[in-house]
Amino acid sequence: MEKVWKYLKSMKFGLILLGLICAVSVIGSLIPQNAEPMTYVRAYPNHYGLIFSLQLDHVFTSWYFILLTVLLCLNLAMCSLVRFHGISHDDTEEIERATGVPSVEKTDPDTLDQIREYLRRKHCKETVKGNVSVYSKNSFGRNGTFLTHLGILLTVVFWSLAMYLPRIIDRTCMPGESIILDDGTKIAVSDFAITDAAGRLDYKSVINIILPDGRESGEREVSVNHPVSMGQYKVFQQTYGTRGAILVRDKEGHEDRFYVDTNDFLSKDGVNGVLYDNVYPDFTEENGEMSLVTSTSGRYENPVYVYIEVEEGKQKDVMLAFPGDKTEIGDLEFEFLKPVEYPGLRIKQSPKFINILLLLSFLVMTAGLYITFFMAPVIVTVDEEGYTVLGSKPEGMRYELKQIVRSRKENIHA
């Protein structure tokens, strides 16, 4: 059991956990997360079964990612406790050990007096044990590793809170329109495209996040795994859809454009109009007969509208129409437009305090790293014969004291 405990709090185990978390995170950044199942069936026709079975469609909420995160937090917590226990006592024991170390650098008494005076000017803490003077500097530097581990632990914990605490809002929005959230935040969608200029699938929205206080993100692209953040909001490109569009005109020249869904009835008097059924992405012809293609991934290359003409409240035959076709029913003219592609956005609203906590954790970690590398503890012992410099990084102090010795020798020879 002791071996298991020792391994759980070892740096080796922590590095293995970090490596696994990084590997899983890379997979999560390459595969779209939390999309509709058909998105994976279309994008990965040969591997979608593996994606679903390994929960790669929601990596960051999978059981194994949560387990790795918990284990990493446990490892960091134990490392922090071990280091805190090591620094929670004063440096009396370390000073006692230093007094038993014989002097390494031999020199004359006058030079040693200069070294003592120099160390006092450097605000080193002086402890006298018999004929040995012990000077300690940067004792606080022993806190560096503890603060570093604590900062990493807090970062992982607060990052986990940032992952799992946000309120998630899924919305669709037509290009040129906006989503208004409960607090007045406005997300304006100015454009959306399913494919890029080369015709490759590349779902991208152009959005502008406008906060209640008037701050704006400016128009920025949102694509799969490349969200846009502003304030407490982070907007992801999650899914997409295509809706039919019909332009309706009356005899006075007034017109309105409608985005239609199945069973929408466009009418002025309630008895004459168009009963919309659906728009299909493509069609095939064989032996003079046309068959509709009911599913596709990407753009609708040859869209076909299916609708029913309604006159005097009675449904007539099922009709087909292509973009640009028009029909007149009663006092209205209906023009079938090119179908409109629209995005499905996932909006994550994080609690305001999370960003503050994350910033504090980064500051703690940065302070720990600075203290570790630039404030390493140093102990200098001075006895009747010479001095010794001890510590994890004694080079700087050794150089300074050697300069004093060298200067003393030069003054004597002069």
The mean pLDDT of the chain is 87
Task: Kindly report, residue by residue over 332-361, the tens digit of the pLDDT.
Answer: 999 999 999 999 999 999 887 888 898 899
Instruction: Give the residue from 87, 109, 128 where a domain finishes.
Output: 87
* pLDDT band with cut points at 50, 70 and 90 for residue 91: low
pLDDT band at 208 (very low <50, low <70, confident <90, very high): very high
Q: How many domains does the chain have?
A: 4
Identify the helix (H) or strand (E) that includes residue 209.
strand 201-210
Does 233 share its domain with 348? yes
Residue 124 maps to a domain: yes
| 143 belongs to a structural domain | no
Is 145 domain-assigned? Answer: no
Local confidence band at 185 (pLDDT 50, 70, 90 cut-offs): very high
CATH number at residue 107: 3.30.310.10
Q: How many CA atoms lie within 13 A of 41 on its CB side?
A: 6
Q: Is pLDDT above 70 for 404?
A: yes
Both 246 and 333 in a single domain?
yes
Written as six digits, the tokens of 182 are 């409960």
Q: Are 242 and 279 in contact (CB under 8 A)?
A: yes
Check if the beta carbon of residue 197 is closer than 8 Å to that of residue 205. no
How many percent of the chain have pLDDT more than 70?
Answer: 95
- What is the phi/psi pair of residue 275, to 5°? -100, 110
Of residues 244, 242, 240, the one with CA closest to residue 275: 244
Q: Are residue 41 and residue 54 in the same domain, yes or no?
A: yes
pLDDT in tens, 277-287: 999 999 988 87
pLDDT of 380 over the 70 cut:
yes
In this structure, the answer to whether residues 218 and 359 fall within a common structural domain is yes
Res 298 pLDDT > 70? yes
DSSP type of residue 131: T
pLDDT at 7 over 90: no
> How much is the pLDDT for 38?
73
Identify the pLDDT of residue 84: 60
* Angle, alpha carbons 325-330-252 (nearest 5°): 85
Task: Please indicate, yes or no, if residue 371 is contained in any of the structural domains.
Answer: no
Is the domain of 264 the same as that of 333? yes
Q: Are residues 396 and 268 in the same domain?
A: no
Calpha distance 289→62 (Å, rounded): 49
**pLDDT exceeds cutoff 80 at 79:** no
412 phi, psi to nearest 5 deg:
-65, -45
pTM over 0.85: no
Residues 237 and 353 in one domain: yes
Q: Which domain covers residue 406, as residue numbers?
A: 92-138+376-413
Is residue 233 located within the same domain as residue 349? yes
Q: How many CA atoms within 13 Å lie on the side-chain side of 8?
A: 13
Instruction: Give the integer Cα–Cα distance in Å for 183 and 288.
Output: 57
Q: What is the pLDDT of residues 26-73, one digit of tens each?
A: 888 888 887 778 778 877 888 888 989 999 888 888 999 989 988 888
Domain assignment present for 14: yes
In a domain, 152, yes or no: no
Report the pLDDT value the prediction gives residue 356, as an integer from 0 to 100.
87
Q: Which residue has the higher pLDDT, 9 or 234?
A: 234
Q: How far is CA 248 from CA 265, 284, 404, in A?
A: 12, 29, 94
pLDDT at 414 over 80: no
Check whether residue 112 and residue 180 sit in a common domain.
Answer: no
Residue 150 lies inside a defined structural domain of this protein: no
Looking at the structure, tell me whether residues 223 and 352 fall in a common domain.
yes
Residue 9 lies in a domain: yes
Asked if residue 85 has pLDDT above 70, the reply is: no
How far, in Å, CA of 98 to CA of 128, rounded?
11
Same-domain status, 12 and 40: yes
Q: How many residues in total does the chain contain? A: 414
Question: What angle in degrees, to the nearest 10, is found between the helix axes of 109-121 and 395-413?
Answer: 130
Same domain, 78 and 98: no
Tokens of 381: 């012992």
pLDDT digits (tens, 9 = 90+) for 124-154: 989 888 889 999 988 888 888 888 888 888 8
Asked whether the predicted pLDDT for residue 155 surpasses 60, the reply is yes
* Residue from 158, 205, 210, 242 nearest 346 by CA: 205
What is the average per-residue pLDDT within 367-378?
A: 88
One-letter identity of residue 140: F
Lowest mean pLDDT among 112-116, 249-253, 288-292: 288-292
